[in-house]
Amino acid sequence: MSSGALELSAVAAAAAIRDGSLSAGELFDAYRERAGADRAAGEQGLNCFTWVADERPAQAPAGGPLAGLPLAVKDLFCTEGVPSQSGSRILEGYLPPYTATAVARLLDAGASLLAKTNQDEFAMGSSNENSGYGPVRNPWDRARVPGGSSGGSAAAVAAGLAPWALGTDTGGSIRQPAALCGIVGLKPTYGAVSRYGMIAFASSLDQAGPLTRDVADAALAFAQMVGRDACDATSLEFPHAITAPSAERLDGVRIGVPDELTGDGIEAGVRACFEAALARAEELGAQVQTVRLAHAPHALSAYYVLAPAEASSNLARFDGVRYGLRAEAQELLEMYTSTRHDGFGAEVRRRIMLGTYALSSGYYDAYYGRAQRVRTKVAGDFREAFAEVDFILTPTAPTVAFALGEKTGDPLAMYLNDYCTVPMSLAGIPAISIPCGLSAGLPVGLQIAGPAFSENRLLDAAHAFEHALEFDGSGARV
Amino acid sequence: MSERPAAPGTAALEPVIGLEIHVQLATATKMFCGCELSFGEPPNTRTCPVCIGLPGSLPVANARAIHFGLMIGLALGSELAPRSIFHRKNYFYPDQAKGYQISQYDEPLCRGGRLGEVRIHRVHLEEDAAKLIHVGASGRIHGSDASIVDFNRSGTPLAEIVTEPDIRSAEQAGEWLRLLRGTLRQLGVSDVNMEEGSLRCDANISLRAAGTSELGTKTELKNMNSFRFIERGIRAEIARQQKLLLDGGQVLQETLHFDPDSGAITSLRSKEEAHDYRYFPEPDLLPVAIDEQMLAAAAAAMSELPAERAERLRGDAGLSEDSAQLLAFRGELGDFFEAALAAPTDPPAGAQALANWVTGELLGRLDDGQDPADSRLEPAALAALVGMVGAKQISVGAARQVLDRLLAEGGEPGAIVVAEGLAAMDGSDELAAIVAAALEANADAAERVRQGNAKAIGPIVGQVMRDTKGRADGTEVSRLINEQLGL
């Protein structure tokens, strides 16, 4: 196998396997070696992985649309017999008896499970510094964070340690690390991909999606994951088949730019890349106009009530009784409190307390109820905007990758990373982040959002941008 | 003796009782997963990632449970919500796999309604908890060595029926619960077996001055698992509150446990210790939207309900109010009665006489809650027996003996009468001779009867009945005694 095989996109590698010029087993071994080396290096490496396969699958599934391609999967997806810890010490060594639907569908389509990726604990974080298994480093600059919470997935794909990876996005957890690592990250419409087997953070927001080297790969993965699942009552039948993106122009496409998400707080280098992308859009035939998302500035506040509220309930099951960590104690209450104190990290404990407070009798309406009303208004703003434009563009994150430790002491500064991505999460609409340039040698992400179920058009538009912007991701390769 | 302040008489205090009933629905599978319901299988064998709350698992609502919920709502005359939602009720307890119970809160499936004289507040759907087994001598949580959890019951569908506080006595509570049980059994939505826990009842109890409308402080008596315990528990709690109030004390709002063995009432938790359940809409489930099709399916699945049956038994069969109600509310007795009534017998059994035998002699011979269909007695045999009594072919006493035999061994009453020689002895010389012998043997009593003491006839009649093995007709025996004494 030539070393160039590791540079192939997933689509290209699958084609090579199908035409016999590439061996799926050899490709798996090559990635396994790379991923294994990073795993062995621990925090001296990128620390992308919490588990790496120690041998190639007994029967490498060379058939199917995914032709045996290796797949890295965020730790929070349950994988039968393989550690699934959601980045938390409270689930250290937990081996689920079943596999998440999204993963199972990709495996059924011919993917091979290569590795589980590091993440912020229970997907709570924007820098991957909240992992119970150590922080992940950004392959563009190892002193910097990869973003989060799908930081391990993003760093692994950017560094070439995996051809592609599965992540989840609750308020930006696919898009923001994709932006900070210079890769593509797709957050689908809420309900498009089953949540069954995803260890829940905030159920009404969590959504699985791919992190890939290019837009065509994102479409290929998404096409295999999408669709209603009888095990997830909130999943939906996608109204049409997912097609491979091919557009190279944006003729007649109406692009909206909301002042509310592109003004203060966006750092200059990011703004410059974003404005260059808008200029390029016009060259490709698009019309760019301003749209109003009046309630978007309140989305972050609402999100940080709703998501912790749901999390406080979702994380109640980790009580030490049936699985995972159990602290030694004389009495039941002491066992509960010690287990949860020892097993959860500081950010998780903070959000459980926030969420518990927000749901408490007497406070519910002022916090949870009010945040739900904001959510409704945010979604309404998007509906109105999409009557005027086809897509809404923003920078994915206000800054490029920041230094490890830079924001860990200031949760509010950390939460601002999600400022541009959270409104789409609250509205349940799809959004994709693609790399649109470098600022001081670090990648900048362009976020493209569309109405619910517009993924085909969204991927096509992203493909046209990708083609025009010609981003070079090689600076991150290991 | 010290003087006590004049206390209001006990008659001045009126109990106000509302019930909360948990009904396990007889669906094939659990409320939110595909596990079959458990009936005594080995522990933790009817479980899956959903009902043991494994990370990543998600609930999916059972359409059959919603169908049953709608049937209950229709039977109770409730308003069926076109849109209802499930909430999470958050609390830590080892019987609770997820740290929350999925239940309905402020938007339940059914609101309002009425059954008999009691108004219904609401009916909602929820999931049952796992079963805790306390290992050790006591069998209760206090003093146990360890507690183990069986998740077979976890996620079993429940309908919770909440009444308005319209009940005024323990007896009324018991009687109304029997009506509810009969209704639910008739619907076929539950096994409604209190001993097995498929019907469980909590009672909210308060007292107030009779004739006033303000409610007093209530207590909640938890989880009583038989009709007898419910009535005893409510009686005991009314008595406890009455004593407290009459002694000038105050009732504390708390949750109580009634121990049927000792009769003691103990506090489980006070109002201050009440949980903050932090209810919020369950994000893993969609709202339950009821469409015309679901309503039509629920309506089509309804059969005759006890209240309607009582009306029919009064109107068509001409039964008394009491008989009709008892046969309707205890559907298994009603079924037996109607089968017996339909059986052709010669001589025919009258409907009211047959009803009297079913609700009197037969019911008295059954175990508590036993279905007569499970005995050896055939409905047609009872009808034949009652027909023979009506035609005075056998005496009531003899018929009772025949009924004993029929329940023990089955068979035809006519054959038993012949084999045992139990046919009535009406006015025969043989009976006159037995009466004469009895008068001789009870000369003192005979003399008292002659002198006008009618009650003294008892021992003489008794002697005749013994000598005739109960075959003699009581009226005929009295006539012969009077005749032979020249009265």
State the Cα–Cα distance between residues A339 and A25, nearest whole angstrom: 42
H helices present in A109-208, as ranges: 151-159, 175-181
Do B99 and A319 lie within an 8 Å CB cutoff?
Answer: yes
Report CB contact under 8 Å: B60, A233: yes
Q: d(Cα A95, Cα B193) in Å, to the nearest integer?
A: 40
For residues A396 and A315, membership in a common domain is answered with no
Strand pairing class (A254-258; A391-395): parallel
Q: Are residues A365 and A395 in the same domain?
A: no
Pair A229, A196: CB distance under 8 Å:
yes
pLDDT at B213 over 70: yes
C-alpha to C-alpha distance for A269 and B351, rounded to whole angstroms: 96
Report the distance separating Cα A224 and Cα B436, nearest Å: 102
What is B429-484's CATH number?
1.10.10
Largest CA distance in chain A: 70
Domain count, chain A: 2
User: What is the per-residue pLDDT across B258-280, written as a single tens digit (0 to 9) for each?
Assistant: 988 888 999 988 877 778 999 99
Q: Choose the most confident range, by mean pLDDT, from A54-63, A147-156, B135-144, B458-467.
A: A147-156
Q: Cβ contact (<8 Å) for B55 and A232?
A: no
The predicted pLDDT at position B373 comes to 87
Task: Return the bridge partners of A138, or none.
Answer: A141
* pLDDT of residue B5 exceeding 50: no
Cβ-proximal residues to B342 (8 Å cutoff; 6+ apart), any chain? B379
Question: Per the CB < 8 Å rule, is A336 touching B57?
Answer: no
Query: Would you state the structure tokens that stand for residue B427, as one six-digit string?
Result: 């006015």
Calpha distance A429→A389 (Å, rounded): 14
State the nearest Cα–Cα gap between A262 and chain B, in angstroms: 31
Is residue B136 classed as helix, strand or coil in its secondary structure?
A: coil
Examine residue A176 and state whether it is found in any structural domain, yes or no. yes
Q: Are residues A411 and A368 in the same domain?
A: no
**Element at B186 (helix H, strand E):** helix B170-187
Higher pLDDT, A38 or B175: A38
CA-based nearest residue to B342, from B374, B309, B379, B306: B379
CB contact under 8 A, B90 and A359: yes
Which chain B residue's Cα is nearest to A321? B94
DSSP state letters, B401-445? HHHHHHHHH---HHHHHHHHT-----S-HHHHHHHHHHHHHTHHH
Q: Is B100 on the interface with A (CB under 8 A)?
A: yes
Series of mean pLDDT values for 10-residue runs along chain A (478 residues)? 89 94 94 97 97 84 85 98 98 97 96 97 97 98 97 98 98 98 98 98 98 98 98 97 97 97 93 97 98 97 98 97 93 93 97 96 94 98 98 97 94 91 98 97 98 98 97 90
Q: Examine residue A281 and state whether it is found in any structural domain, yes or no.
A: no
Q: Do A203 and B98 touch (CB under 8 A)?
A: no
Judge if A393 and A362 occupy the same domain. Answer: no
- Is B42 an interface residue toward A (CB < 8 Å)? no
**pLDDT tens digits, residue range B422-450?**
887 766 688 888 888 888 888 888 889 88
- Given a cut of 80, whether residue B140 has pLDDT beyond it is no
What is the pairing mode between strands A442-449 and A391-395? Answer: antiparallel
In a domain, A467, yes or no: yes
Asked about A149 being catalytic, the answer comes back as yes
Q: What are the residues facing B80 on neighbouring strands?
A: B110
**Interchain CB contact of B66 with A (< 8 Å):** no
ipTM of the complex: 0.96
- How far is C-alpha A19 from the geometric centre of its chain's CA atoms? 32
Q: Are residues A236 and A310 in the same domain?
A: no
- SS3 breakdown of chain A: % helix, strand, coil, rounded to 5? 40, 15, 45
Domain chopping of chain B, boundaries? 10-299, 306-420, 429-484
Distance from CA of A141 to the nearest CA of B (A): 34
In the prediction, which pLDDT does B2 show? 43
Q: Which residues of chain A have a CB within 8 Å of the CB of B57?
A: 196-197
Q: Which of A323, A344, A372 is the C-terminal boundary of a domain?
A: A372
Residues of A in contact with B284 (CB under 8 A): 195, 203, 232-234
Secondary structure of residue A343 in the 3-state scheme: helix
A269 part of a folded domain: no
Residue type, A13: A
- Residue A302 and residue A420 share a domain: no
Q: Which of A74, A116, A187, A407 is catalytic?
A: A74
- Closest partner residue to B58 among A195, A336, A368, by Cβ? A195
Residue B458 has pLDDT above 50, yes or no: yes
- Residue A439 known to be catalytic: no
Q: Are A224 and A442 in contact (CB under 8 A)?
A: no
pTM above 0.90, yes or no: no
Q: Are the beta carbons of A321 and B149 separated by less than 8 Å?
A: yes
pLDDT (tens digit per residue) in B7-34: 445 558 999 999 999 999 999 999 999 9
Q: B376 CB near a chain A CB, below 8 Å?
A: no
Residues A204 and A240 both lie in one domain: yes
Is A233 within 8 Å of B53 when comparing Cβ atoms? no
**Distance between CA atoms of B125 and B66, rounded to whole angstroms?**
8
Omega cis (within 30) before B169: no
Residue A98 to residue B49, Cβ atoms within 8 A:
yes
In DSSP notation, B446-467 reads HHHHHTT-GGGGHHHHHHHHHH
Q: Is A173 a catalytic residue?
A: yes
Out of A372, A403, A431, pick the residue that ends a domain: A372
Domain that holds residue A304: 297-372
Q: Give A322: exposed, middle or buried? Use CB within 10 Å, 0-12, 13-18, 19+.
A: middle
Query: Are residue A140 and residue A8 in the same domain, yes or no?
Result: yes
Joined tokens for residue A295 = 């309630």
CA end-to-end distance (rounded Å), chain A: 18
Q: Are residues A151 and A55 in the same domain?
A: yes
Same domain, A232 and A192: yes
Let me know whether A215 and A151 are in one domain: yes
Higher local confidence (pLDDT), A341 or B40 = A341
Run of H or E including A371: helix A370-385
Domain boundary, last residue among A372, A397, A427 = A372
Q: How far is CA B333 from CA A17, A19, A121, B325, in A?
A: 74, 77, 62, 11
Q: Residues of B with CB below 8 A from A94's CB? A: 55
Any A CB within 8 A of B284 CB: yes
The CATH number of residue A135's host domain is: 3.90.1300.10
A317 and A177, same domain (yes or no): no
* Residues of B whose CB is below 8 A from A202: 283
Question: Which residues from B are below 8 Å from A361, CB to CB?
Answer: 276, 278
Q: d(Cα B313, Cα B327) in Å, to the nearest integer?
A: 8
Q: What is the pLDDT of residue A466?
A: 98
When pLDDT is cut at 50, 70 and 90, the band that residue B368 belongs to is confident
